[in-house]
């Protein structure tokens, strides 16, 4: 300003000369400012205000804030290309960046959420973060859980794949069905078929919990018969106490309670776990078909578009103009084949379902779905876990295969449907006979193997 004022005092000629000179100077200054701004907007060129060797509090605070920003930016970009930050930073690393995502290790503690809201300010607006999880349902530190379950931790470390993924199943002697009065699927060794399926589809990252001596003996005898070069079946005897309320209920309840308990442990140890029933056929390796973009990616009991959620409506004629209304209907997921990622939100669903089942007898399937799908309302907060429903023509249940979309799958010789990844015999009592027909059809090329099976449970139904 003072230069401009002084220029007013000169004569006209001198004045114009000075104006040119000033304009040049001013122009250069603008270019210089622009260059500085350019440099400033490129973080890599930003001069570090901290030293890597600093030990004083202020410098460390600056360095920490800078690292945090860079980590947040990296985590967002990594997540966008389906790279799991935990694979690189280790499980629990979400504590470093928190509260931004609704999935993953996000929002792990209220302090983190507050802190994230204060430091992350996209487009000049404060971010909104979902409510933090109840600390009761957060995963405990992996090291602590490992110290309590050293054998299981070792097995997971040995058999998980390089993405820290494991297929986890449970079995007992009933699955072998030596005594047909004990099994209810008209006989047939489901365990043996499942083991053959693991081998056929080369699912090496599996782990089977064996709950009785008879099944354990079956597996060790089988391994001895087949010799050391055969496909290796990874199994162990879980050492988990069944909650008293489930102890006297149906065998299925005892099994589900054990399943949830092992699942909680594997998740807390940082393993993404595909829990599996045995009454299904993996025609190819399911790990090659996962999207890995949700806390829970599961097969469905749905056999049409309701599997994914569809809109429906009510019509109440006595209401006249206001007689309509829309609602969503979503079929329950089937935890007989469900990929649960090691995230706090997936864990919260599992733990809430397990705690409920430990307190009162219940059907795991129903309890799990209730916790996953019920919306937050009033004082009730859902775990806000995200769900992906597996493609129902890749992970097919037996009702869709034999009934709803029968014309696409059968007869086999003229089938128009693509080869499924998995078929689950959750809708039919003659499970094993149908498992065998699917194995014959897809593993052994007997195209008509399933053609004569009825659509329903009764002969002649379609």
Give the residues lining the site for ligand NAG (CB under 6 A).
Answer: 179, 181-182, 202, 204
CB nearer ligand NAG, residue 181 or residue 375: 181
Based on CB atoms, which residue is closest to ligand NAG, 28 or 179?
A: 179
Q: How far is the CB of 340 from ligand NAG (least distance, A)?
A: 21
Nearer of residues 164 and 434 to ligand NAG, judged by Cβ? 164
CA distances from 377 to 313, 372, 381, 430, 453 (A): 22, 14, 6, 42, 45
Structure tokens at 191: 């365990």
β pairing state of 206-210 and 235-236: parallel
Residues 6+ apart with CB under 8 A from 60: 50, 54
Q: Tell me if residue 10 falls in helix, strand or coil.
A: coil
Q: Give the residue with the Cβ less far from ligand NAG, 76 or 217.
A: 217
CB 119 → ligand NAG: shortest distance, Å? 42
Shortest Cβ 204–ligand NAG spacing (Å): 5
Nearer to ligand NAG, 121 or 180 (CB): 180
**396 to 86, 121, 307, 452: CA distances (angstroms):** 31, 44, 11, 19
CB 205 to ligand NAG: min, Å: 7
Closest contact distance (angstroms) between CB of 159 and ligand NAG is 11
CB of 162 to ligand NAG, least distance (A): 9
Beta carbon of residue 178, minimum distance to ligand NAG (angstroms, whole number): 8
**Number of helices followed by number of strands (H, E) in the chain:** 16, 12
CB of 333 to ligand NAG, least distance (A): 27
Give how far Cα 395 sits from Cα of 165, 190, 275, 286, 392, Å: 18, 19, 14, 9, 5
Token pair of 329 as six digits: 């209907």
Q: Give min distance, CB of 308 to ligand NAG, in A.
A: 31
Which residues is 389 bridged to in the sheet?
298
174/435 with CB nearer ligand NAG:
174
Q: Smallest Cα–Cα separation from 421: which of 271, 292, 290?
A: 290
Cβ-closest position to ligand NAG: 179
The Cα–Cα gap between 78 and 346 comes to 20
DSSP state of 377: B
Q: How far is CA 204 from CA 154, 168, 225, 357, in A?
A: 16, 11, 20, 31
Q: Among 397, 427, 432, which residue's Cα sits nearest to residue 197? A: 432
Of 108 and 174, nearer to ligand NAG (C-beta) is 174
Q: Are 461 and 410 in contact (CB under 8 A)?
A: no
Q: Of the two residues 228 and 317, which places its CB atom closer to ligand NAG in the complex?
A: 228
Tokens of 325: 């209304």
When the beta carbons of 68 and 163 are compared against ligand NAG, the nearer one is 163
- Residue 157 or 358 having the CB closest to ligand NAG: 157
Tell me whether residue 44 or residue 288 sits nearer to ligand NAG (CB atom): 288
Shortest Å distance, C-beta 177 to ligand NAG:
11
Q: Following DSSP, what letter does each residue of 254-298 receive, concatenated?
A: HHHHHHHHHHHHHHHTT-EEEEE-SSEEESS-GGGG----SSEEE
The enclosing H or E element of 15 equals: helix 12-41
**Paired sense of beta strands 422-424 and 280-282, if any:** antiparallel
Least separation in angstroms between CB 146 and ligand NAG: 24
Smallest separation (angstroms) from ligand NAG to the CB of 161: 7
Residue closer to ligand NAG (CB basis): 200 or 400: 200
CA distance 457 to 313: 31
């Amino acid at each position: 300003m003072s230069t401009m004022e002084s220029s007013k005092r000169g004569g006209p000629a001198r004045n114009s000369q000075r104006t040119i000179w000033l304009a040049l100077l001013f122009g250069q200054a603008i270019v210089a400012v622009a260059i500085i701004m350019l440099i400033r907007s490129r973080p890599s060129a930003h001069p570090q205000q901290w030293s890597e060797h600093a030990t004083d509090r202020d410098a460390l605070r600056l360095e920490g804030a800078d690292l945090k920003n860079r980590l947040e930016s990296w985590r967002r970009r990594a997540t966008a290309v389906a790279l799991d930050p935990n694979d690189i930073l280790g499980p629990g690393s979400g504590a470093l960046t928190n509260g931004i995502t609704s999935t993953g290790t996000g929002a792990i503690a209220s302090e983190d959420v507050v802190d994230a809201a204060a430091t992350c300010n996209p487009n000049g607006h404060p971010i909104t973060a979902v409510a933090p999880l109840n600390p009761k349902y957060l995963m405990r530190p992996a090291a602590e859980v490992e110290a309590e379950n050293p054998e299981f931790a070792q097995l997971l470390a040995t058999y998980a794949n390089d993405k820290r993924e494991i297929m986890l199943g449970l079995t007992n002697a009933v699955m072998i069905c030596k005594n047909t009065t004990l099994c209810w699927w008209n006989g047939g060794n489901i365990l043996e078929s499942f083991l053959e399926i693991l081998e056929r589809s080369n699912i090496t990252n599996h782990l089977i919990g064996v709950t009785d001596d008879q099944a354990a003996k079956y597996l060790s005898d089988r391994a001895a018969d087949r010799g050391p070069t055969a496909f290796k079946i990874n199994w162990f005897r879980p050492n988990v106490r069944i909650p008293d309320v489930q102890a006297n209920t149906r065998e299925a309840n005892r099994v589900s309670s054990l399943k949830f308990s092992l699942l909680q442990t594997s998740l807390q140890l940082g393993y993404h776990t595909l829990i599996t029933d045995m009454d299904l056929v993996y025609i190819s390796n399911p790990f090659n078909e996962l999207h890995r973009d949700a806390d829970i990616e599961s097969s469905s009991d749905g056999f049409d578009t309701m599997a994914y959620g569809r809109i429906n409506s009510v019509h109440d004629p006595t209401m006249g103009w206001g007689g309509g209304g829309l609602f969503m209907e979503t079929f329950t997921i089937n935890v007989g084949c469900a990929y649960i990622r090691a995230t706090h939100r997936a864990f919260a669903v599992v733990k809430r379902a397990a705690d409920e089942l430990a307190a009162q007898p219940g059907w795991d399937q129903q309890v799990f779905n209730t916790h996953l799908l019920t919306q937050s309302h009033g004082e009730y907060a859902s775990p806000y876990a995200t769900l992906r429903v597996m493609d129902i023509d890749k992970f097919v249940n037996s009702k869709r295969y034999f009934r709803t979309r029968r014309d696409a799958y059968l007869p086999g010789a003229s089938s128009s449907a693509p080869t499924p990844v998995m078929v689950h015999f959750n809708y039919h009592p003659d499970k094993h006979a149908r498992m065998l027909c699917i194995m014959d059809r897809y593993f052994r090329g007997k195209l008509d193997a399933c053609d004569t099976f009825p659509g329903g449970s009764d002969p002649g139904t379609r």
